[in-house]
Amino acid sequence: MVIAAIALISMGVFFLTAGTIGFLRFPDFYSRMHATGKCDTLGVVLSLTGLALYNLHYGLSLASILVSIKIIFIAVFWFLANPTATHALSRSAFESEVTPWTKDGRPVIEWPPK
């Protein structure tokens, strides 16, 4: 159980690292949102699942099972909430006319959108 927890936490931190590197290096807002919106969600869900597994290895008492259920509840809440926040932020950026990046500077769609 401890080895599975270490593997899950390491995978989660790998995804968080990849998301942050993409957040620093991508060229415009929409691709940065593409990096963080998915990698942060998966990284947090994997890390919290690993921490809930590690919490169970102290012994299966009622208190530790309740704390593990609470950690899993945070993971499920974050799995629902972070894509919602990403969608709302991306939509408001689209409506405030942040243009997408292209390599030669041409707009990819007709602007402003109808």
Partner 1 sequence: MDNFFLVIGLILGFLSLLALYRAIFGPTIVDRIIGVGVVGTNTLVILLLMGFIYKRIDMFVDISLLYAILNFIGVLIFAKYFVRKGVH
Residues that bind partner 1 (CB under 8 A): 2, 6, 9, 12-13, 16-17, 19-20, 23-24, 29, 32-33, 36, 40, 44, 47-48, 51, 54-55, 63, 67, 70-71, 73-74, 77-78, 81-82, 84-85, 88-89, 91-93, 95-98
Residue whose token pair is 């408001």 = 92
Q: Residues 51, 71: contact at Cβ < 8 Å? A: yes
Q: Which one, 4 or 73, has the nearer CB to partner 1?
A: 73
**CB-nearer residue toward partner 1: 3 or 108:** 3
Q: Looking at beta carbons only, is 77 or 110 nearer to partner 1? A: 77
Residue 64 tokens, joined: 């530790």
Cα atoms found within 13 Å of the Cα of residue 21, Cβ hemisphere only: 6
Helix, strand and coil in the chain, % to nearest 5: 75, 0, 25
Determine whether 100 is exposed, middle or buried from the number of CB atoms within 10 Å of its CB (0-12, 13-18, 19+). Answer: middle
Give least dist CB 19 to partner 1, A.
Answer: 8
Query: Nearest distance from residue 87's CB to partner 1, in Å?
Result: 9
C-beta of 10: minimal distance to partner 1 in Å?
A: 8
